[in-house]
Structure 1
Amino acid sequence: MARRIHRGIEVFGKAKKLFQDREGGIHQDASSLPVDGFPRYDLESGRAETPKQDQLREGLEIAWQVLQAEQVLPLADLAHRIVEELMVNPNYTYRELLAALKGDPRFSVTGGQLVSLSTVEDPADLFFRRIARMKK
Protein backbone atom coordinates (compact mmCIF):
# COMPACT_ATOMS: atom_id res chain seq x y z
CA MET A 1 0.00 0.00 0.00
CA ALA A 2 1.44 3.34 -1.04
CA ARG A 3 1.73 6.09 1.52
CA ARG A 4 0.97 9.67 0.55
CA ILE A 5 4.01 11.82 1.19
CA HIS A 6 3.33 15.33 2.43
CA ARG A 7 6.07 17.43 0.87
CA GLY A 8 4.80 20.87 1.91
CA ILE A 9 4.09 23.81 -0.39
CA GLU A 10 4.47 23.22 -4.11
CA VAL A 11 5.36 25.88 -6.66
CA PHE A 12 4.63 24.99 -10.28
CA GLY A 13 4.20 21.36 -9.25
CA LYS A 14 7.62 21.21 -7.59
CA ALA A 15 7.98 20.90 -3.82
CA LYS A 16 9.91 23.72 -2.15
CA LYS A 17 12.99 22.73 -0.14
CA LEU A 18 12.39 21.56 3.41
CA PHE A 19 14.84 21.66 6.29
CA GLN A 20 14.70 20.94 10.00
CA ASP A 21 16.51 23.06 12.56
CA ARG A 22 18.31 21.69 15.64
CA GLU A 23 15.25 22.35 17.81
CA GLY A 24 13.09 20.15 15.56
CA GLY A 25 11.17 22.92 13.78
CA ILE A 26 10.53 22.24 10.10
CA HIS A 27 10.84 25.15 7.68
CA GLN A 28 10.43 25.65 3.97
CA ASP A 29 12.56 27.85 1.70
CA ALA A 30 13.99 30.31 4.20
CA SER A 31 16.13 33.14 2.83
CA SER A 32 19.19 31.34 4.18
CA LEU A 33 19.61 27.80 5.42
CA PRO A 34 21.13 27.20 8.85
CA VAL A 35 24.33 25.19 8.48
CA ASP A 36 23.33 23.12 11.50
CA GLY A 37 19.92 22.33 9.98
CA PHE A 38 19.01 19.01 8.39
CA PRO A 39 17.77 18.62 4.79
CA ARG A 40 14.30 17.01 4.73
CA TYR A 41 12.59 14.75 2.19
CA ASP A 42 9.09 14.88 3.68
CA LEU A 43 7.18 16.23 6.64
CA GLU A 44 5.98 13.02 8.31
CA SER A 45 9.04 10.81 8.57
CA GLY A 46 11.70 11.06 11.21
CA ARG A 47 15.39 11.00 10.40
CA ALA A 48 16.74 7.83 8.81
CA GLU A 49 18.19 5.09 11.01
CA THR A 50 21.10 4.43 8.63
CA PRO A 51 24.50 5.38 10.13
CA LYS A 52 25.48 8.96 9.28
CA GLN A 53 28.77 7.97 7.60
CA ASP A 54 26.94 5.52 5.31
CA GLN A 55 24.44 8.20 4.33
CA LEU A 56 27.21 10.73 3.69
CA ARG A 57 29.11 8.21 1.57
CA GLU A 58 25.99 7.47 -0.49
CA GLY A 59 25.23 11.20 -0.68
CA LEU A 60 28.70 11.92 -2.11
CA GLU A 61 28.13 9.31 -4.83
CA ILE A 62 24.82 10.94 -5.72
CA ALA A 63 26.46 14.40 -5.66
CA TRP A 64 29.11 13.17 -8.09
CA GLN A 65 26.41 11.87 -10.46
CA VAL A 66 24.37 15.08 -10.23
CA LEU A 67 27.41 17.29 -10.85
CA GLN A 68 28.38 15.24 -13.90
CA ALA A 69 25.34 16.82 -15.57
CA GLU A 70 24.97 20.13 -13.70
CA GLN A 71 28.68 20.97 -13.28
CA VAL A 72 28.04 23.47 -10.45
CA LEU A 73 25.27 23.93 -7.85
CA PRO A 74 24.81 25.84 -4.60
CA LEU A 75 25.15 23.62 -1.53
CA ALA A 76 21.42 23.87 -0.67
CA ASP A 77 20.34 22.80 -4.15
CA LEU A 78 22.82 19.94 -4.24
CA ALA A 79 21.78 18.78 -0.75
CA HIS A 80 18.16 18.65 -1.80
CA ARG A 81 18.92 16.84 -5.06
CA ILE A 82 20.69 14.23 -2.90
CA VAL A 83 17.69 14.01 -0.56
CA GLU A 84 15.33 13.59 -3.53
CA GLU A 85 17.42 10.67 -4.75
CA LEU A 86 17.80 9.07 -1.29
CA MET A 87 14.06 9.51 -0.57
CA VAL A 88 14.74 9.72 3.19
CA ASN A 89 15.27 12.45 5.77
CA PRO A 90 19.03 12.24 6.26
CA ASN A 91 20.58 12.40 9.72
CA TYR A 92 23.46 14.69 8.70
CA THR A 93 23.48 18.49 8.70
CA TYR A 94 24.37 20.86 5.88
CA ARG A 95 27.65 21.55 7.73
CA GLU A 96 28.51 17.83 7.82
CA LEU A 97 27.67 17.43 4.12
CA LEU A 98 29.81 20.48 3.32
CA ALA A 99 32.75 19.04 5.31
CA ALA A 100 32.39 15.71 3.49
CA LEU A 101 32.35 17.47 0.10
CA LYS A 102 35.43 19.52 1.02
CA GLY A 103 37.22 16.37 2.18
CA ASP A 104 36.57 14.48 -1.07
CA PRO A 105 39.12 15.27 -3.81
CA ARG A 106 36.45 14.82 -6.52
CA PHE A 107 34.73 18.05 -5.43
CA SER A 108 35.59 21.72 -5.17
CA VAL A 109 33.71 24.08 -2.83
CA THR A 110 34.00 27.86 -3.19
CA GLY A 111 33.75 30.28 -0.29
CA GLY A 112 30.22 31.10 -1.45
CA GLN A 113 29.28 27.43 -1.04
CA LEU A 114 29.12 26.64 -4.73
CA VAL A 115 29.94 22.97 -5.23
CA SER A 116 31.44 21.63 -8.44
CA LEU A 117 33.59 18.79 -9.63
CA SER A 118 37.27 19.56 -9.08
CA THR A 119 37.81 19.48 -12.87
CA VAL A 120 35.49 22.47 -13.46
CA GLU A 121 37.41 25.69 -14.03
CA ASP A 122 35.97 28.87 -12.48
CA PRO A 123 32.73 27.41 -11.07
CA ALA A 124 31.47 30.82 -9.89
CA ASP A 125 31.67 32.25 -13.41
CA LEU A 126 29.94 29.18 -14.83
CA PHE A 127 27.17 29.44 -12.22
CA PHE A 128 26.53 33.15 -12.81
CA ARG A 129 26.52 32.70 -16.60
CA ARG A 130 23.89 29.97 -16.16
CA ILE A 131 21.78 32.28 -13.95
CA ALA A 132 22.06 35.07 -16.54
CA ARG A 133 20.86 32.68 -19.29
CA MET A 134 17.88 31.66 -17.16
CA LYS A 135 16.84 35.30 -16.68
CA LYS A 136 16.73 35.98 -20.44
Structure 2
Amino acid sequence: MTDAHRQAQGPEQSRSVVLKTAIRELPVRRGKVRDIYDLGVNLLIVATDRISAFDCVLPTGIPNKGWVLTQLSAFWFDLLHDVTESHLVSAPTGSTEIAHIDPTLGAHASMLAGRTMLVQKAEVLPVECVVRGYLAG
Protein backbone atom coordinates (compact mmCIF):
# COMPACT_ATOMS: atom_id res chain seq x y z
CA MET A 1 0.00 0.00 0.00
CA THR A 2 1.38 3.42 -0.92
CA ASP A 3 1.72 6.37 1.43
CA ALA A 4 -1.07 8.12 -0.47
CA HIS A 5 -3.45 5.27 0.31
CA ARG A 6 -2.34 5.08 3.95
CA GLN A 7 -2.90 8.81 4.35
CA ALA A 8 -6.26 8.91 2.57
CA GLN A 9 -8.80 9.58 5.24
CA GLY A 10 -12.25 8.12 4.99
CA PRO A 11 -15.21 10.40 4.57
CA GLU A 12 -16.67 12.07 7.59
CA GLN A 13 -19.25 9.84 9.19
CA SER A 14 -21.95 11.47 7.13
CA ARG A 15 -25.29 9.81 6.68
CA SER A 16 -26.08 11.94 3.65
CA VAL A 17 -26.27 10.12 0.35
CA VAL A 18 -24.99 11.55 -2.96
CA LEU A 19 -27.41 10.30 -5.62
CA LYS A 20 -26.64 12.92 -8.24
CA THR A 21 -23.98 15.55 -8.78
CA ALA A 22 -24.69 18.88 -10.43
CA ILE A 23 -21.79 20.94 -11.72
CA ARG A 24 -23.74 23.18 -14.09
CA GLU A 25 -20.70 24.68 -15.79
CA LEU A 26 -19.53 21.30 -17.13
CA PRO A 27 -21.06 18.85 -19.63
CA VAL A 28 -22.17 15.65 -17.89
CA ARG A 29 -23.04 12.08 -18.80
CA ARG A 30 -24.62 9.82 -16.21
CA GLY A 31 -24.05 6.10 -15.89
CA LYS A 32 -25.74 3.75 -13.45
CA VAL A 33 -23.59 4.81 -10.49
CA ARG A 34 -21.09 7.35 -11.87
CA ASP A 35 -21.40 10.88 -13.26
CA ILE A 36 -18.81 11.81 -15.90
CA TYR A 37 -17.83 15.43 -16.55
CA ASP A 38 -15.91 16.57 -19.63
CA LEU A 39 -12.96 18.80 -18.70
CA GLY A 40 -11.62 19.10 -22.24
CA VAL A 41 -8.42 17.06 -22.26
CA ASN A 42 -9.50 14.82 -19.36
CA LEU A 43 -12.68 13.48 -17.80
CA LEU A 44 -13.78 13.72 -14.18
CA ILE A 45 -15.48 10.52 -13.02
CA VAL A 46 -17.54 10.94 -9.85
CA ALA A 47 -18.78 7.81 -8.09
CA THR A 48 -22.15 8.47 -6.47
CA ASP A 49 -23.89 6.47 -3.76
CA ARG A 50 -26.50 5.13 -6.21
CA ILE A 51 -27.20 1.40 -6.15
CA SER A 52 -27.42 -0.60 -9.36
CA ALA A 53 -28.74 -4.14 -9.18
CA PHE A 54 -29.36 -6.29 -12.25
CA ASP A 55 -29.27 -3.26 -14.60
CA CYS A 56 -31.74 -1.28 -12.49
CA VAL A 57 -30.86 1.83 -10.47
CA LEU A 58 -32.62 1.74 -7.10
CA PRO A 59 -34.22 4.91 -5.65
CA THR A 60 -32.12 4.88 -2.47
CA GLY A 61 -28.37 4.86 -2.01
CA ILE A 62 -25.73 3.73 0.46
CA PRO A 63 -23.88 6.50 2.35
CA ASN A 64 -20.23 6.79 1.22
CA LYS A 65 -20.54 3.97 -1.37
CA GLY A 66 -19.02 6.22 -4.04
CA TRP A 67 -16.05 7.01 -1.81
CA VAL A 68 -15.42 3.29 -1.23
CA LEU A 69 -15.71 2.45 -4.95
CA THR A 70 -13.24 5.18 -5.88
CA GLN A 71 -10.72 4.21 -3.21
CA LEU A 72 -10.86 0.53 -4.26
CA SER A 73 -10.30 1.46 -7.90
CA ALA A 74 -7.46 3.87 -7.05
CA PHE A 75 -5.80 1.18 -4.91
CA TRP A 76 -5.80 -1.36 -7.76
CA PHE A 77 -4.70 1.12 -10.43
CA ASP A 78 -1.81 2.15 -8.16
CA LEU A 79 -0.86 -1.42 -7.29
CA LEU A 80 -0.78 -2.43 -10.97
CA HIS A 81 0.87 0.71 -12.40
CA ASP A 82 4.18 -1.17 -12.91
CA VAL A 83 2.35 -3.95 -14.76
CA THR A 84 0.13 -1.95 -17.11
CA GLU A 85 -0.84 1.59 -17.99
CA SER A 86 -4.27 2.93 -17.15
CA HIS A 87 -6.37 6.00 -17.81
CA LEU A 88 -5.99 7.25 -14.22
CA VAL A 89 -4.34 10.66 -13.84
CA SER A 90 -5.19 11.17 -10.16
CA ALA A 91 -7.72 10.29 -7.48
CA PRO A 92 -7.78 13.40 -5.30
CA THR A 93 -8.82 12.85 -1.69
CA GLY A 94 -8.75 16.45 -0.48
CA SER A 95 -10.80 19.55 -1.29
CA THR A 96 -7.65 21.51 -2.18
CA GLU A 97 -6.61 18.88 -4.73
CA ILE A 98 -10.10 19.00 -6.30
CA ALA A 99 -10.06 22.80 -6.59
CA HIS A 100 -6.71 22.66 -8.45
CA ILE A 101 -8.13 20.40 -11.19
CA ASP A 102 -10.58 22.98 -12.52
CA PRO A 103 -11.79 26.32 -11.05
CA THR A 104 -15.44 25.31 -11.49
CA LEU A 105 -14.96 22.43 -9.04
CA GLY A 106 -14.03 24.59 -6.04
CA ALA A 107 -17.62 25.08 -4.86
CA HIS A 108 -18.19 21.32 -5.00
CA ALA A 109 -14.83 20.21 -3.60
CA SER A 110 -15.98 18.83 -0.26
CA MET A 111 -18.61 16.62 -1.93
CA LEU A 112 -16.19 15.46 -4.67
CA ALA A 113 -13.17 14.71 -2.47
CA GLY A 114 -12.40 11.01 -2.30
CA ARG A 115 -15.12 9.96 -4.76
CA THR A 116 -13.52 11.50 -7.85
CA MET A 117 -11.04 10.25 -10.42
CA LEU A 118 -9.37 12.45 -13.01
CA VAL A 119 -8.78 10.28 -16.07
CA GLN A 120 -7.45 10.55 -19.61
CA LYS A 121 -10.00 10.36 -22.37
CA ALA A 122 -9.83 7.01 -24.11
CA GLU A 123 -11.71 5.04 -26.71
CA VAL A 124 -14.35 2.91 -25.01
CA LEU A 125 -14.30 -0.82 -25.61
CA PRO A 126 -17.98 -1.75 -25.07
CA VAL A 127 -17.48 -4.97 -23.09
CA GLU A 128 -18.97 -5.72 -19.70
CA CYS A 129 -18.13 -8.57 -17.36
CA VAL A 130 -20.37 -9.20 -14.36
CA VAL A 131 -19.27 -11.56 -11.60
CA ARG A 132 -21.81 -12.29 -8.91
CA GLY A 133 -21.26 -14.18 -5.70
CA TYR A 134 -17.79 -12.81 -4.97
CA LEU A 135 -16.66 -9.77 -3.00
CA ALA A 136 -14.82 -7.54 -5.46
CA GLY A 137 -14.08 -3.88 -6.23
TM norm structure 1: 0.28
TM norm structure 2: 0.28
Task: Point out the structure with the larger helix share.
Answer: 1
